[in-house]
Structure 1
Amino acid sequence: MKTTNKRIWLGIRKRLGRNFSLFLLLVMMISSVSGFLVTADSVLIKYDEIMRDGNVEDGQFTTAYPLDENVLNEIDKLNVYVEKMAYFEVKMDGNNNLRIYENRKVIDKAVVTKGRIATNDSEITLNRLYAENNNINIGEKLTIPSSYFKDGKSRTLSVVGFVSTPDYNAVFSKNTELMFDAQSFGIGMIDKSLMDKAVQSSLVYQNGYKFNDKVNDNTSKSKHKKILDIVSKKNILMSFMPKDSNNAITFMIDDMGGDKPMMIVFFCIMLSVISLVFWAISSSIITEEAGIIGTLMANGYRRSELIKLYLSGPVIITIFAGIVGNILGYTVMTKPMESMYYKSFELPNFEPYFNMDAFVMTTIIPVVIMLAINVICISRKMRFSPLEFIRGALTKKGRKKARNVPFKKFKTRFISRVIIKQKGDYAVMMIGIFISSILLFYGLSINPTFDNYTKNTREGMVSNYQYILKVPVELNSEKTNNGAKQMDNNLDLTSRGVEKLTISSSQIYIPIRGEKEDISIIGVSENSRYFKNLKVANNPEHIIASKSLCKKAGLQIGDSVDVWDKFTGKKKIYKIVGVYDYPSSLSLFMSKDILNKNIDKDQEYFNCYLSDHKLDIDENYVATIIDKSVAGDAGKQLKQIMGPLIGVFSTVSALFFFIIMFMLTKLILEKNSLNIAYLKVFGYRTKEIKSIYLGGSTFVLLLTIALGIPLEIKSLEYISLIAMSKFSGYFEMTIDKKSVIVAIIVPVFVYILIMVLQMRKISRMSFAEALKNRE
């Protein structure tokens, strides 16, 4: 084997251009996928770190005035610790709001990302995102107006550090908002000595609490309820929110669910093309060196030794590509991926961690697939006898009769015969062009998809405002002695354009997602003003589904759907009797009266108002307010977060296409070097030879683009459904005319560049050398 071992490195050097292209292709794929997966999992580790080191709350509540010792003692008996977190909110320049807290000691502690914590009454620390988005540096001064302090004097505070806090991981100013705003809302931390000088009337008495012992879901719910009862009896409760309901804590972890599937789909598509290229190259090498293989066999070399010989080159290239790709993935490629998360979420300073899943996916799996494909290909090629290898007769079908082609012109007939002869390589080329175009379409379509989601969400809102309530609250009613709202049945809401709904938070199983997803069951009154043309059934087992839900869950009219109540876990089975166009929303519709009965509520129960104008409702009774000005902000935010990833997609797709086309056209020219030499002997000019041998590639490219675009769009719709299945809601891939034009221009431009390079190769080919070396 020592002799054959020398041929491994000789073969790599001999085909340096092809091997380097293959190496570059693998490095590009591995580094981008590894960089993303490493970053995503490292960010999750940092999220867990800030939750742990910051000692994140289990819940919070706000009261009208400070808690007294009796309340704290009663809560302490539940084995629950409470920390007072009063704050005041300051209107800053540029219409920004800065919420200022005292430094926390036990719960929701600040994690310093740069500088230090404020330690006296002339210092302040800011959350990192607010400082970065408003170009505030350490050492700069912020002025707090005099109206916030007891002595009537303003304060000029020096910024001494940047921090992240677990309770503002996503910077929501109100939990009712659909999207956070890290630009105009920020968090400040000051020393106790300065907070003691704040005007009491400006303070909001927020309190965080933490369970001292580990509890399960049932015990947790029980404790939350007991805390709520204790506080509401001894103080005026303004708001109450368990951790799981706090968007500022949970939004990031929920948002990250859809990122990995996109990259995994991206990786699988690229890997499938590379596998085909491996197959074509291995077959080409054995055909090219058939005489050498036959001679080695005749001299006593076993087939297993030769299989190992021809496997070694691809294995070495793949292993080195895995090493280099992972090094780049952990260094260079983590930078754009890191910015996706750190421009939107508050996290401790980034640090990449070794990720075994990423290593297996980007290094072990490509090696295994490469081995499997090459073993199959090489083993099939090695089934011939030594004499057949020496003769180059690597076929069991015998000599074939030349096929007739339906063309009269010599040049056209020649091109068609070249395509027929190299049909396997051209088939791989067509698949490579097709899949590369899908990748390019994917990168180009992400922006329009999120834009269209934003547009559809806004235009699909049936009213200008939607108020989701914590409890039923009648408009213009007055409080009773126990703080509840008194119903006013005489209020004519219809004439004021206000409509009541019942919304039940539920879940259904999404097959393509492989798990349950949150949806809403909307109880609509008959002759609804806002849900026009929606005819709900009176049968309690019938239901109408939104078009988006049907597309994502693969449902249609006549299907039965299992629906679980999100809070009680009870399951009900409904039959879909209609589809309603409610863009981007995963919803089911039924009669309000029937829904109230199904969820064990009174007939008059409701928890949502629809209106075309703002309503005067105490925000303490409002869970969420949705209006058209902010509807669809989730799409905008996702577009902003995924901006760097979109750039990576588009760049990698173009490079991927270039390398695939370059390698395959080069492979075809090398296989036809003898025929090209004959043409040169017969007096054909380089331009004419190029038109013959590159004409086939041009024809394949144009044919694949022309026939492939409709199929690519269809394939992309299914791929995007898988890739975006983990995102909440329904994102339908949008491919606009601009994307189609670019997806055509880029491959053609890249191909022209390849033709120029291959033209130079043809002009430099030595036909004398090719004829001298013919068998």
Structure 2
Amino acid sequence: MKNPLWKRLPRELKSDFGKYIVIFLFMTLTIGFVSGFLVADDSMLAAYDEGFEKYNIEHGNFTLSSKASESDLKKIEKNGKVRICENFYRDEATDADLDGKEEGTMRIYQERTDMNLVCLMSGGMPAAKNEIAIDRMYADNNKLKVGDKLKIAGEELTVTGLVALPDYSCLFSDNSDMMFDAVKFGVGIMTEKGADAFGTTHLEYRYSWQYETAPKDDIEAKNMSEDFLEVLVKYGNVTGFIPAYSNQAITFTGEDMGGDKAMMEVLLYILIVIIAFVFAVTTNNTITKEASVIGTLRASGYSRRELLFHYISMPVIVTVVASVLGNVLGYTSFKDLCAGMYYGSYSLPTYETRWNADAFILTTVVPVVIMLGINLILISGKLRLSPLKFLRHDLSASKRKKAVRLPNFKFFNRFRLRIILQNKSSYLTLFIGIFFANVLLLFGMMMKPLLDHYQEEILKNMIAPYQYVLNVPEEPDEDEKYTVMGMLQKFLTPSLKTNEKSAEKFCLNSMKNVLPDQEGETITVYGIADDSAYVSVELPTDGVLISDGYAEKYKIKTGDTVVLKEAYGSETYEFLVQGIYDYPASLTVFMPISSYRKTFGEKEDYFNGYFSREKITDLDEDLIATTITEDDLTKVSRQLDVSMGEMFQLINVFAVVLFALLIYLLTKLIIEKNANAISMVKILGYENREINSLYLTSTTWVVILSILLSLLLSTWTIYGIYGYLMSSFSGWLTLYLKPAVYPEMFAMGMGAYILVALLQFRRIKKIPMDVALKNVE
């Protein structure tokens, strides 16, 4: 026999259509977005993983100061048990918009036929000397397409195709950079003749290698790379060494996509839990309202299980339908939207959409289980009461408590306090929802001011407008110094001297931060001249200063000791921290130039860089390894704004919608729960304005208090999780919460509440007087 209780569900849906449609749409869109995100993430991650084999990605690369001889390469291959191929490149200044100003850098490679094969995404590969295929991400950010022209090192080239290079899925120009830069840095492929036309001034002798037997995991890859480095340093002057497992240009994309997946799943489940609590609270209110009916049904033979299934059926049905429809949207429109977000940040190859069973389970089965579980727990307890208690409307499971004695306030205020106490479970759920929404809102709203503040601090504290890092020529060995070849070498070596008056010498080295049981990220070590015109602080002779970002990230204090390791060697150094220096651009150690030379065994007159206020024009270009300018220091804020700007806005909108949804559902519940009392006070002669003041003012108090308290708690939460969020970045962005964000958040919250309150005004106005007369017990 069919259960007649099922006939009540359509009537319940119709009578409370507003609540169910709002929850349904919110859940559908949320599940649809998360489902689309997981499908796109999994499909692109699969394409990324398969690309290691499909495009024959290197196991690492190294750079030498000069081209290696064939005999040396054979010895390295034999002793290191690797296979090596040339992967030379040139970094050339680029004018992407043909406005006559060079605003970026293009890293030019020759055609690849061995390792790191190219994925052609549109157009064709270059065939002539004046043609180039450029990275698709760089092209998008600079509004370039196939057939357009750009100038590289003054030469006008035609873009023949848009490509993705597997060793540059993330456009890091330097592996030690905190953030990639797809706006002012790109990679391109040219013919051999086209690349050679740029000469050897900026030519870097990079070689890619693959092991004879591929490592099983990163631990084995680390051990193998250390063994290979020991072989490599015997045959050449190594200026760069990057194993694939630590190459951010290769690994950052995969690690980021994996982390995004976990974050989206957690976000979805938190939202489902909040909605489940809302359903449970509203269902318990329905049970209270229908207590007499439930008592009659129980006395007539209906079991608790039948009634429980009836009352949890609507939340579960709404969740199931929302999950299924959300998955349909996820595999269609949302999938492309989410894939576009990834393509907006990373240089990924073309992907194919794949059926993702895990995504279906995570966005359909798990939400239904969460909804079912929470409602079973919270509703079943109330249905354990005896039929007699339901008939008497005595729904308290414990002994009746005395009413809370209220302060001697005016009548209206005491009435409002009583409303709050009677609906404390609803208000508690409202507070939790507001808190979660404000955490999201604060995260979304803080990032733009944080990036702007970071950029301002960098520009305010930058050491010099120009930093030139030099390729210091090797001097002849002591026994060759006075030979004809030795003297000829010294005579032909370009001079490191400059006539630029604002130039100041410095020393620079890149080292690895040594952490307990592991090797950390790159730390820049500066040796600063005495009475420096650029670093205006007295440097200690028996220790070092470290940048504030270094101190914050690793929780280092004055008096601590930091341990650094050679980037391409095994020597370690310990430094006593004597103070913190404001320098947000990188993780940095500052020491006197004399201490630097003594520590690293350099000559008394050694230096490898210049600080300068003006551009240095009289140095041989072959001597300049890197020029660090304002653009280089601000790439983090620039790239994050490009990559994540739309996402931050999406988070803000989502948080405000969640905020408004919870207020709407719970204020609606409170009014429905008190419909009988509202009807009674209407009979007693109170006007709608006064009734609104009674019921909505109490909710206003709770909303204002919840917003203010959640602003404080959300700030603590952001401070608590910020270190974890930044741990995956190389470098550090100092947390900055702009004070103006808080009044903006409060105004947005109250604006959403006012809109909801206007809807509830109408609801109170529509409650008729006969409700109280019909429900006289």
TM over 0.5: yes
Distance 2:190 2:571 in 1: 47
In 1: Cα distance, 2:317 partner to 2:385 partner:
26
The equivalences for 1:177-196 within 5 A come to 182-183=182-183, 187-189=187-189
CA distance in 2, matches of 1:204, 1:564: 28
SS in 2 for 1:333: helix
Which amino acid is 2:515 matched to? Answer: I
TM-score by length of 2: 0.79
Coordinate RMSD, CA, aligned: 5.0
Secondary structure at the aligned position of 2:633 is classed as: coil
Residue 736 (structure 2) pairs with residue 734 (structure 1): yes
- 1:663 Cα offset (Å): 0.2
Residue type matched to 2:381 in 1?
A: R
2:314 aligned partner:
313
Partner of 1:132: 140
The match for 1:323 is 324
In structure 2, C-alpha distance between the alignment counterparts of 1:550 and 1:99, rounded to whole Å:
33
Structure 2 contact 461–584 (Cα < 8 Å) conserved: yes
Change (3 A) 1:174 1:405: closer
Does structure 1 residue 520 correspond to structure 2 residue 519?
no
Question: Does the 8 A contact of 2:83 with 2:211 survive in 1?
Answer: yes
**Which residue of structure 1 aligns with residue 296 of structure 2?**
295
Q: Secondary structure at the match of 1:520?
A: strand
Aligned with 1:771 (options 764, 768, 773) = 773
Report the equivalent of 1:716. Answer: 718
Match of 1:151 in 2: none
Taking the aligned partners of 2:286 and 2:273, their CA distance within structure 1 comes to 20
Q: CA deviation at 1:199?
A: 8.9
What is the alpha-carbon distance in structure 2 between the residues aligned to residue 609 and residue 2 of structure 1? Answer: 85
Q: Which residue of 2 aligns with 1:446?
A: 447
Deviation at 1:659, TM superposition (A): 0.6
Does the CA-based 8 Å contact 2:64-2:239 persist in structure 1?
A: yes
1:748 CA drift (Å)? 1.8
2:81 maps to 1:82: no
Within 1, Cα distance between the matches of 2:188 and 2:457?
A: 37
**1:534–1:9 CA distance, 2 compared to 1 (3 A):** farther
For residues 664-675 of structure 1, the aligned pairs below 5 Å read: 664-675=666-677
Q: Distance in 2 between matches of 1:239 and 1:558?
A: 33
Post-superposition offset of 1:759: 1.8
2:24 equivalent in structure 1: 23
Q: Contact (CA 8 Å) 1:38, 1:330: kept in 2 or not?
A: yes
Residue pair 1:506, 1:521 contacting (<8 A) in 2 also: no
1:213 and 2:212 matched? yes
What's the counterpart of residue 696 of structure 1? Answer: 698
Segment drifting more, 494-503 vs 128-137: 494-503
Q: Map residues 232-311 of structure 1 onto 2, 5 A cutoff.
A: 248-249=249-250, 252-253=253-254, 263=264, 266-267=267-268, 270=271, 273-311=274-312
Q: Which residue of 2 aligns with 1:109?
A: 117
Provide the TM-score with structure 1 as the length reference. 0.79
What one-letter code is carried by the residue in structure 1 that aligns with 2:661? I
Q: CA 1:242 to 1:695, structure 2 compared with 1: closer, same or farther past 3 Å?
A: closer
Sort the Cα spacing of 1:677 and 1:63 in 2 relative to 1 into closer, same or farther, 3 A.
Answer: closer
Kindly indicate whether residue 507 of structure 2 is the aligned counterpart of residue 500 of structure 1: yes
Superposed displacement of residue 377, structure 1: 1.4
* Alpha carbons of structure 1 residues 767 and 573: separation in structure 2 relative to 1, 3 Å: farther
* CA spacing shift, 1:576–1:752, aligned 2, 3 Å: same
Distance 1:85 1:574 in 2: 37
Please, which moves more after superposition, 269-278 or 643-652? 269-278
Of 82-91 and 277-286, more deviation after overlay is shown by 82-91
**How far apart, in 1, do the equivalents of 2:65 and 2:526 lie?**
35
Displacement of 1:649 after TM fit?
A: 0.1
Distance 1:695 1:458, change over 3 A: same
Distance in 1, Cα, partners of 2:61 & 2:404: 82
Counterpart in the other structure of 1:412: 413
Contact 2:542 2:576 in 1 (8 A): no
Q: 1:308 to 1:426 in 2, by over 3 A?
A: same
In structure 1, runs of 5+ residues without a counterpart are: 149-153
Q: Which residue of 1 aligns with 2:346?
A: 345
The more displaced of 299-308 and 177-186 is: 177-186
Shift of 1:442: 1.9
Q: Distance in 1 between matches of 2:127 and 2:721?
A: 54
Q: 1:42 to 1:636 in 2, by over 3 A?
A: farther
How has the CA–CA distance of structure 1 residues 448 and 678 changed in structure 2, closer, same or farther, with 3 Å as cutoff? same
Deviation (angstroms), 1:758: 1.5
Asked if 2 retains the 8 angstrom alpha-carbon contact of 1:526 and 1:536, the reply is no
Letter in 2 for 1:642: M
Q: CA deviation at 1:554?
A: 5.1
**1:309-333: CA deviation from partner (whole Å, max 9, x where unpaired):** 3333323322333333333344433
Q: Taking structure 1 as reference, are residues 300 and 621 closer, same or farther at Cα in structure 2, changes over 3 Å only?
A: farther
CA distance in 2, matches of 1:558, 1:238: 33
Provide the C-alpha distance between the structure 2 equivalents of 1:207 and 1:497, rounded to a whole number of angstroms. 30
C-alpha contact 1:721 1:732 (8 A) present in aligned 2 = no
Structure 1 counterpart of 2:210, one-letter code = F
Cα distance change, pair 397–592 in 1 and its aligned pair in 2 (3 A): farther
In the TM superposition, 1:11-90 aligns within 5 A as 11-58=12-59, 80-82=83-85
Q: Give how far 1:394 is off.
A: 0.9
Distance apart, 1:390 and its partner CA: 1.6
| Partner SS state of residue 521, structure 2 | strand
Shift of residue 537, structure 1, vs aligned partner: 8.3
Matches within 5 A, 1:532-681: 536=540, 538=542, 547-553=548-554, 580-583=581-584, 585-586=586-587, 609=609, 611-613=611-613, 626-681=628-683
Question: 1:693 Cα deviation (Å)?
Answer: 1.5
Amino acid aligned to 2:121: T
SS at match of 2:333: coil
Structure 1 residues 292 and 460: CA distance shift in structure 2, 3 A? farther
Structure 2 CA distance for aligned equivalents of residues 590 and 528 of structure 1: 12
In structure 1, the partner of 2:460 is 459
- Could you list the runs of 5+ residues in structure 2 that have no partner in the other structure? 215-220, 476-480
How far, CA to CA, are the matches of 1:379 and 1:200 in structure 2? 79
Mapped partners of 1:123, 1:728: distance in 2 = 35
Could you tell me which residue of structure 1 aligns to residue 478 of structure 2? none
* Alpha-carbon spacing, 1:773–1:482, altered in 2? closer, same or farther (3 Å): farther
How many residues align? The count is 750
| Equivalences for residues 150-169 of structure 1 within 5 A | 161-169=161-169
Instruction: For 1:742 and 1:459, locate their aligned partners in 2 and report how far apart those are by CA, in whole Å.
Output: 27
Which sits farther off after the overlay, 430-439 or 251-260? 251-260
Offset of residue 387 of structure 1: 0.4
Deviation of 1:441 after TM superposition, in Å, equals: 2.0
Per mean C-alpha deviation after superposition, the further-off stretch among 431-440 and 667-676 is 431-440
